[in-house]
Structure 1
Amino acid sequence: MAGILWIRRACRSPTLQHPRLYTTAKRPLPPNSPIFRVSEEVRQALIEHRPVIALESTIYTHGFPHPANLALATRLEALVRANGGVPATIGILDGVATVGLTPPELSRLITTAHATPSALLKCSRRDLAFATALTSPTGARFNGGTTVSATMILAHMAGIRVFATGGLGGVHRDVATTLDISADLTELGRTPIAVISSGCKAFLDIAKTLEYLETQGVAVATFADGRDVSAAESASIDFPAFWSRDSGVKSPMLLRDESEAARVIHAHGLLGLQSGLHFANPIPERYSIPRAEMEAAVKQALEQAALAGATGARSTPFVLARVGELTGGASGRVNRVLVEGNVVRGTRVAVELGRIEGEGDRPDRLESRLVGPAASHFTSTGVSLGASASQTPAPATHQATAPAPPPTSPADQSPTIFVAGSLNVDLSCDYTPRPNAPAHTPEPHTSNPATIAQTLGGVAHNVARAAHLLGAPVRLCSAVGADPAGHAALAALAASGMSVAGVTTLATGRTSQYVAVNDTHKALVLAMADVTLLEQPTPALTSAFETSWLPDLRAANPSHVVLDANWPPAALARWLAAAHEADAPPHITFEPVSNAKSTSLFHLPPHIHTLATFPHPTVHLATPNSSELAALAAAARATGAFDRADWWAVLDALGIPSTGARAALASITSPALVDAGVPQQSLQLLPFIPAILTKLGARGVLLTQLLPAGDPRLTSPCDAPYILCRCRNGTEAGLGVGGVYMRLFPAVEKVPAADVVSVNGVGDTFAGAIVAGLAKRGSGARVEELVDVAQRAAVMTLRSAESVCPRLGALRGLL
């Protein structure tokens, strides 16, 4: 992958403040306090006003058995993403109430439930303070699954509006003697969040439950789910009884679809009502167990519970188990169907809510859409521009970055940037040695302990994602296989707000995968990439070119095209040829990817496209690291590119003295870089690539750029220190060569090793930021004015677990 950037100047956001009071000590609860944390992904989604769906965790910790619970957790989050939402699974992990458990965190919570169930709490409202303040007898912090009521509280604190779950608690049938009323109901009476479930389980007193919810001021309605809602028909629609569509109790109100539900939530918020809403989603008719059958099983189970003395907290699990047995397992089989349907319905409601509120967006209303007690912590003015989430915010005297506008839907704008290349599933393996291990690098030829994370990646994806987050309309052109990894990649891409229109699913071949092995400092030790899906010519790939990618490219006529070197030479040549066929050819950026693949630029099949030189080059900009730059220069020399007459004509026009330019190069860059041949290699490649940004790690970024004749920088006093040479042989009018602009940009901050989370995607983020800036600024854009902000974007990714930091939108104002 592309090179690592190290940064020197600190850039932090102002201290976050909030006017509302949550705690009795009259202090706001920050989003990353010692007992409350909101994940980076969820925070960014709230900032960008994307639909976020709360999911509870007791369904995994105390509901489904292992390993079905782990599979269900993965399935539900995938359903949220596939339907355009961001999942926020909520639970207690190491004493911290966490909104948006990451896959490794959720896996650890579920594994704890399986391995040592006694060490795991089932947390309702009453338990939250104990779970986050105390420790177990062994001194360990508590882990816990959150029930409906606890999930509602924590979701509301984070500013989440919609929560999807399986079933709602209620009033028990023996309430007159037990006073057993679920905390879910009282929570709905005082926490303004919309809960979508399949109603109450049939062993509860549903009529009394609805009566209690009415007393609490809870808005209750049932989705018609395809049934006629005319006056005559709607009178017969029941509030559902979990396993059955009918309960014998009429629903207070009906909803035709998700749009109606979203309008109710929106109006509820505008009125400032502080109670919750419950929307019942009936089980699909083909899975519904007949009411009479369920009622018979429930009555028998309740009688057996009474005989067994299963009361209080033991009652519900006993009755559920007996109902399962009495229905021949049917009740258990539909549990998963229920919760999956509710999650899909809830996500669509949240998407509709975002659309409704987005239609009325004005600058003075953007913050009003985050309504939880900690909501202002997630407004865009509070995003750190380089500090990791765990760091203390900088003093409020620092200048805040301008708020990032919500990203535009891909359907709203024609793409101005096409990015073509790899879309991978990335695995990052960080070496985590045991204490007192002698080395910080994994040992070869054996197994090593590691922390492994999976994200969406690929050079083209990362470049496109960075440009998208920075506000540039982007079309990613790539391919995935018809395998689980491909389906997951498409779902994740859609969930990120990017268009999937340019991603083709190929019936043959595997979805590209990339595995990075890093040392304890997160520095890359070894990487393995399988992108044969793009490298092997197949009829399906040829069809994608002819029927999808190239027609889309011609129709959109983008201003910029980015090509990564994962394409083999023939495919790369086709992209280049198609781009240059346009009436107004786009600015083309080449991302070399790796030493081996960078050379494809000098192996293009001449019958498709021959690499042209200045003043009409085939490629306008490249973003190699120093080793990729050396590989490019070596490939040019080996293929005879440096023997071409058109190459020599441009180089001769630069006016470099026959004695060489070592002194001038060392003065502009450094003696060490000259000794390594970096500026010399850049100069040699300029006729073919007139702008080269070489990423140099801790030494920053070297820009080498061929200026056309008449460029104002050639005569500007401010730019004089960076003009290496000017045309001296009188060919300005013919070739149009003006001179060479060379400038070494120091890294803007040196990031401590402890702050580095992942190096994957850092260089790709840099390239994406450069191209986004060029596209947004138009024909007058200057590369040198974008290098610093691109470095800032890169360091944000360096401190992020994802291949591209999801908080890049905070930098839009700097482009």
Structure 2
Amino acid sequence: MSRSPWICRACLATARRLTPTVTPKRQISSNSRYFQVSEEVRQAIAEHRPVVALETTIYTHGYPYPENLSLAARLESLVRTNGGVPATIGILEGVARVGLAADELMRLVSSAGDPGTLKLSRRDLGFALGLRQPNGQPFNGGTTIAGTMILAHMAGIKVFATGGLGGVHRGAETTMDVSADLTELGRTPVAVISSGCKAFLDLPKTLEYLETQGVAVATFADGRGNNVDFPAFWTRESGVPSPKTLRDETEAARVIHAHCSLGLQSGLSFANPIPQHHSLPLEVIEAGIYEALQLANTAGITGAAATPYILSKMKEITGNDSVEANRALIESNVIRGAKVAQELSRLELEELSEQNGRSVSAGHIVARAAAPSRSEGSSLRRSSVPPQSSPPRLSQTTKSKSIEHTANVFVAGSLAIDLSCDYIPRSEQDAGSPVTQPELRTSNPAQISQALGGVGSNVARAAHLMGANVRLCSAVADDLGGKTALEALNAAGMSATGIKTLPDDSGSRTAQYVAVNDNNKDLVLAMADMSILESNASGANTISAAFDDFWLPQLQQAPPSHLVLDANWPPEHLARWLEASKPTDTHVSFEPVSNAKSTRLFHLPKPHELSIFPNPSIHLATPNAYELAAMYAAARERGLFDRAEWWQVIDALGIPHSGARTQMALATSNELVDQGVPQQSIQLLPFIPSICTKLGSQGVLLTQILPAHDERLTSGQYAPYILSRCANETDDTLGVGGVYMRLFPAVEQVPPEEIVSVNGVGDTFAGTLIAGLASRPGSRVEDMMEIAQRAAVLTLKSKESVSPGLGTLRILL
């Protein structure tokens, strides 16, 4: 009996309800024994943050160790400093990994040249993961463009930056030698950003093959017109017209977004021409290629072995020119890829917001401070790098309500809106006498960007990225700036529970910092309105009431383990924070903000003056050398060094009456001793028993009071850092054991050309340090010094005041 050819409408409707709708979307594959995605990459994809895939064949089969490790670190750093999350992809110990951690990357690149380290395309993945070497060890491997595309797509990554694309080899009509990169582009929806095809390939046939595969091909104009050549790796001009032209990263992101939204399963090939000053003449390249091809034919080199052989011969033929060009083009491609990923992230977040009934307005900014100087508190010089806007990062719940959680770190300080106005010269100005400065008393054309700023905000953001549960305690007004700041905190996934919105009738204004910069992005004029936290503001009484009704209950209901105070609070409010923290047994840190404001700690109103060791009001401070000097001078002028209890602690430290210059010079340097840095630190120890003085390229000087019976006092390992020991054995009331002084050298000497911005470096150091101490109860400040410095270096190389790449360092905590 045959089945009826029709179905009732009710059954059809039920079937439709039960049938899942298949829509193309980013998908993070589950981790398995064969495939693992790092936590950082998984989180970034889930939050629609910009992610850039990076291959590893260039490390395993392109550069020797340790040059390959240096290049790998450089490329990941370029992704981070341009707003993205790097996802380096490779096979390590028989597992395909997306987002290699630092130790994993080192193990992989150090295996370059080993027989068990393979070059892996699509066809090789099953063998590499399913089999083992004759000695029983699993395989390692660098993924080619094709192999990287597959694994990136499995993880949900849409942008992949590499060096040069494979293609159709010359003479392919007889050899059938066509790179697997091309067929992979025909079946895997990933946008590959390269410098075009290697020049020894047949470019016209390659483009024809890509067209047959349905691959979208375009070239970035890079300042040129609409009709540009498809680049040939070492050279910008190839004589072969590009099918399409892209003006910038925004256009590229729009193409990717539309392509993926349609569910198309082919890839995209976007060619980024090598930077002009590294481009080699086409005739020189062609001559070298001809010679290299002849040598390859004579040696019988074909297939997958042809490309590395020809590249090696080109290196011999052209000398260092092609080597320098190789490095320049891959770095350029990675930067371009990060910017494309950032624009794509913005488009996806806009679409996500629209789907959830929200719109992303101009005031929707990411929680970063890319303005030229941090709000009323930068002890560092202003960066000359123009700020770049980043896409807003919405929490996985797209509710506008702030994220609520119990915090173990409170940061009480400034929250501001930073505006950067970069002057743009008028087009009608004479070419012979360009005007680089804005004109006074008139309107000037400019590029204006905004960002979330403030020292407290920066410290909180750094601690948040390092995994701490943070509550920023600050105030905004009920104005446009305040609403923008709250939206930005929510977008960054940070709690706004501690942000007090002051009423209209308070006369308060959300803190703002406005910088006017010239054509070179150097500061011309800055204006700061930080009155919302000041005692002389019209809303001062409102701030006082907010402390009693808003912040104090939060401290009492859920006492944090750590409290960070920035010096933007006036002395009377600093005193209230300190008094409130005493009953909670909270570790209190002080960020001095600036030379002028650092002294506020020593102008507290009576009877709330700083208490002294062993029960100090402040446990830790993070000044720079100038702020330390200002703090020392303020304490001396206020007569605090005349207090009897101060002298008791100083006397118990065991420092000889003749001084300890030799010991201090050995622990630090003659230069620092001549500047008085160690001496000033020691005299402030009774008030602040742990001081981390930030010394820029010289590192960080840690000066501490060691409590009596501390194991470091009797350990040979710590002997070089024990400046003095307590000689008052009969006096146990103070519990002083001695002075610990240690200069931690800078973890990295960053070349000037790699310094993007000094803005927020000190704030990042402080936030990371506190996050480490909070995450590991009982740990010492010295244990966190390296990771805090590494975090500061990331920010030093970032356009943002707190590098978004800090999360990669969590594993070190």
Out of 544, 566, 570, the residue aligned to residue 546 of structure 2 is 544
What displacement does 1:581 show? 2.4
- Sort the Cα spacing of 1:663 and 1:527 in 2 relative to 1 into closer, same or farther, 3 A: farther
- Secondary structure (helix, strand or coil) at the match of 1:740 reads strand
- Report the counterpart of residue 796 of structure 1 in structure 2: 794
CA deviations over 1:197-223 (Å, ceiling 9, x no partner): xxxxxxxxxxxxxxxxxxxxxxxxxxx
For residues 313-392 of structure 1, the aligned pairs below 5 Å read 344-347=353-356
- Sort the Cα spacing of 1:796 and 1:347 in 2 relative to 1 into closer, same or farther, 3 A: farther
- Sort the Cα spacing of 1:647 and 1:142 in 2 relative to 1 into closer, same or farther, 3 A: same
Answer yes or no: is the 8 Å Cα contact 2:612–2:645 preserved in 1: yes
1:501 equivalenced with 2:464 (yes/no): no
- Sort the Cα spacing of 1:437 and 1:606 in 2 relative to 1 into closer, same or farther, 3 A: farther
What displacement does 1:518 show? 8.3
CA deviations over 1:475-519 (Å, ceiling 9, x no partner): 000111222222211111110000111112223322212346789
Amino acid of the residue matched to residue 713 of structure 1?
R
What displacement does 1:645 show? 0.6
For residues 35-50 of structure 1, the aligned pairs below 5 Å read 40-41=82-83, 43=85
- Sort the Cα spacing of 1:155 and 1:456 in 2 relative to 1 into closer, same or farther, 3 A: same
For residues 115-514 of structure 1, the aligned pairs below 5 Å read 129=218, 135-136=224-225, 142-143=246-247, 154-155=256-257, 187-188=262-263, 190=265, 344-347=353-356, 411=403, 413-427=405-419, 453-506=449-502, 507=504, 508-514=507-513
- Report the counterpart of residue 57 of structure 1 in structure 2: none
Answer yes or no: is the 8 Å Cα contact 1:431–1:520 preserved in 2: yes
- Larger relative contact order (C-alpha < 8 A, sep ≥ 6)? 1
Q: What is the CA RMSD across the aligned residues, in angstroms?
A: 4.8
Q: Distance in 1 between matches of 2:439 and 2:701?
A: 35
- Secondary structure (helix, strand or coil) at the match of 1:658 reads coil
Answer yes or no: is the 8 Å Cα contact 1:774–1:783 preserved in 2: yes
Amino acid of the residue matched to residue 567 of structure 1?
W
- Sort the Cα spacing of 1:134 and 1:786 in 2 relative to 1 into closer, same or farther, 3 A: closer
- Report the counterpart of residue 566 of structure 1 in structure 2: 568
CA deviations over 1:738-764 (Å, ceiling 9, x no partner): 000001111111212222222111100
- Report the counterpart of residue 807 of structure 1 in structure 2: 805
Amino acid of the residue matched to residue 154 of structure 1?
I
Q: Distance in 2 between matches of 1:492 and 1:38?
A: 20
Q: Distance in 2 between matches of 1:803 and 1:503?
A: 20
What displacement does 1:454 show? 2.9
Amino acid of the residue matched to residue 587 of structure 2?
H
- Secondary structure (helix, strand or coil) at the match of 1:479 reads strand
Q: Distance in 2 between matches of 1:796 and 1:814?
A: 15
- Secondary structure (helix, strand or coil) at the match of 2:500 reads strand
Amino acid of the residue matched to residue 54 of structure 2?
L
For residues 107-118 of structure 1, the aligned pairs below 5 Å read none
CA deviations over 1:588-647 (Å, ceiling 9, x no partner): 00000011111111111124x221000000000000001100110011011111100111
Q: Distance in 1 between matches of 2:661 and 2:649?
A: 20
Q: Distance in 2 between matches of 1:437 and 1:693?
A: 51
Amino acid of the residue matched to residue 472 of structure 2?
L
- Sort the Cα spacing of 1:350 and 1:452 in 2 relative to 1 into closer, same or farther, 3 A: closer
- Sort the Cα spacing of 1:341 and 1:621 in 2 relative to 1 into closer, same or farther, 3 A: closer
What displacement does 1:142 show? 4.7
CA deviations over 1:279-331 (Å, ceiling 9, x no partner): xxxxxxxxxxxxxxxxxxxxxxxxxxxxxxxxxxxxxxxxxxxxxxxxxxxxx
Unaligned runs of 5+ in 2: 1-50, 58-71, 89-97, 100-156, 160-189, 192-213, 230-244, 268-347, 361-384, 386-395
- Report the counterpart of residue 773 of structure 1 in structure 2: 772
Q: Distance in 1 between matches of 2:518 and 2:719?
A: 42
Answer yes or no: is the 8 Å Cα contact 1:709–1:732 preserved in 2: no
Answer yes or no: is the 8 Å Cα contact 2:80–2:805 preserved in 1: no
Q: Distance in 2 between matches of 1:658 and 1:436?
A: 68
TM-score by length of 1: 0.52
CA deviations over 1:150-169 (Å, ceiling 9, x no partner): 75752489xxx8x7xxxxxx
What displacement does 1:694 show? 0.5
What displacement does 1:667 show? 1.1
- Report the counterpart of residue 604 of structure 2 in structure 1: 604
Answer yes or no: is the 8 Å Cα contact 1:522–1:757 preserved in 2: no
Unaligned runs of 5+ in 1: 1-12, 20-29, 49-87, 91-98, 101-124, 164-186, 193-338, 352-387, 389-405
- Sort the Cα spacing of 1:43 and 1:348 in 2 relative to 1 into closer, same or farther, 3 A: farther
- Report the counterpart of residue 635 of structure 1 in structure 2: 634
Amino acid of the residue matched to residue 568 of structure 2?
N
CA deviations over 1:451-493 (Å, ceiling 9, x no partner): 7653211110000000000000000001112222222111111
- Sort the Cα spacing of 1:688 and 1:550 in 2 relative to 1 into closer, same or farther, 3 A: same
What displacement does 1:344 show? 3.2
1:719 equivalenced with 2:721 (yes/no): no
- Report the counterpart of residue 16 of structure 1 in structure 2: 54
- Secondary structure (helix, strand or coil) at the match of 1:773 reads helix
Answer yes or no: is the 8 Å Cα contact 1:521–1:753 preserved in 2: no
Amino acid of the residue matched to residue 499 of structure 1?
S
- Report the counterpart of residue 116 of structure 1 in structure 2: none
What displacement does 1:414 show? 1.4
What displacement does 1:345 show? 3.7
CA deviations over 1:355-402 (Å, ceiling 9, x no partner): xxxxxxxxxxxxxxxxxxxxxxxxxxxxxxxxx9xxxxxxxxxxxxxx
What displacement does 1:538 show? 2.5
- Secondary structure (helix, strand or coil) at the match of 1:733 reads coil
- Report the counterpart of residue 579 of structure 1 in structure 2: 581
What displacement does 1:191 show? 7.8
- Secondary structure (helix, strand or coil) at the match of 2:54 reads coil
Answer yes or no: is the 8 Å Cα contact 2:222–2:248 preserved in 1: no
What displacement does 1:341 show? 10
What displacement does 1:668 show? 0.8
What displacement does 1:432 show? 10
Answer yes or no: is the 8 Å Cα contact 2:52–2:84 preserved in 1: no
- Report the counterpart of residue 289 of structure 2 in structure 1: none
Q: Distance in 2 between matches of 1:446 and 1:678?
A: 45
TM-score by length of 2: 0.53
- Report the counterpart of residue 785 of structure 1 in structure 2: 783
Answer yes or no: is the 8 Å Cα contact 1:135–1:142 preserved in 2: no
Q: Distance in 2 between matches of 1:451 and 1:759?
A: 21
- Secondary structure (helix, strand or coil) at the match of 1:735 reads coil
Amino acid of the residue matched to residue 593 of structure 1?
V
Q: Distance in 2 between matches of 1:691 and 1:436?
A: 57
- Report the counterpart of residue 697 of structure 2 in structure 1: 698
What displacement does 1:45 show? 12
- Sort the Cα spacing of 1:501 and 1:616 in 2 relative to 1 into closer, same or farther, 3 A: same
- Report the counterpart of residue 276 of structure 1 in structure 2: none
- Report the counterpart of residue 762 of structure 1 in structure 2: 761
Answer yes or no: is the 8 Å Cα contact 2:221–2:248 preserved in 1: no
- Report the counterpart of residue 335 of structure 1 in structure 2: none
- Sort the Cα spacing of 1:647 and 1:807 in 2 relative to 1 into closer, same or farther, 3 A: same
Q: Distance in 2 between matches of 1:786 and 1:799?
A: 20
Answer yes or no: is the 8 Å Cα contact 2:628–2:680 preserved in 1: yes
- Report the counterpart of residue 588 of structure 1 in structure 2: 588
Answer yes or no: is the 8 Å Cα contact 1:430–1:452 preserved in 2: yes
- Secondary structure (helix, strand or coil) at the match of 1:477 reads strand
What displacement does 1:773 show? 0.4
Amino acid of the residue matched to residue 814 of structure 1?
L
Q: Distance in 2 between matches of 1:574 and 1:463?
A: 21
Q: Distance in 1 between matches of 2:87 and 2:473?
A: 24
Q: Distance in 2 between matches of 1:777 and 1:484?
A: 39
Aligned length: 486
- Secondary structure (helix, strand or coil) at the match of 2:756 reads coil
